[in-house]
A = this chain, B = another copy of it.
């Protein structure tokens, strides 16, 4: 590390245009979103991938492929209006049951959320296999345990979930603000109950 100081030019970051090219190549080559942290690790010392990626995003505006943010990472994806050209690439996903879809939505909007809370919202037990299926799709993962008696496990939505549904972050979930304002994301215990769980 100390030797880096010996020759300034040797470790000078490449010009921003060159960094943009690098980010372009890296994002392009990977099917999965690439985090800024990983970009930093792969690009020459002193690069500013976060800045480069913003330039790149602008450059691709209106093109057939787009630079999109997925949580803390970035990816290149085709423009949604061109989906009709891609029948050949379409991946058949296993059809999700209504229970699984609702459970996914509840986890996404109420995260972190415990199994008991999901059941409280749906008014029915979470059937075996539902959570499994969502874990397997990597759309949900385990969050921190809830600091309530029994320390129940919580579930949260993943980056793959954001990627799949074209969301920049969990804050961009459709209707999130309205639901919050309407108080529908509150964990309201039934009247007279001491312990929600």
Contact = CB atoms under 8 A, between A and B. Distances in A.
Contacts of A115: 181
Contact of A172 (B85, B143, B168): B143
B169 A144 contact: yes
Given A153-B178, A182-B131, A184-B132, A22 B142 contact: no
Nearest to A152: B178
Given A21-B63, A132-B183, 17 more contacts: A1-B84, A22-B64, A25-B64, A25-B78, A25-B82, A26-B86, A30-B88, A42-B85, A128-B183, A131-B182, A132-B184, A141-B166, A141-B167, A142-B172, A142-B173, A144-B169, A153-B174
Contacts of A153: 172, 174, 178
Contacts of A131: 182
Contacts of A181: 115
Interface of A: 1, 20-26, 28-31, 38, 42-43, 62-65, 76, 78-79, 82, 84-86, 88-89, 115, 128-129, 131-132, 141-145, 153, 158, 166-169, 171-174, 178, 181-184
A82 B22 contact: yes
Q: How often does this chain occur in the complex, in copies?
A: 2
A169 to B, nearest CB: 7
A22 B89 contact: no
Contacts of A85: 22, 25-26, 42-43
Contact of A21 (B22, B79, B86, B88): B79
B144 A168 contact: yes
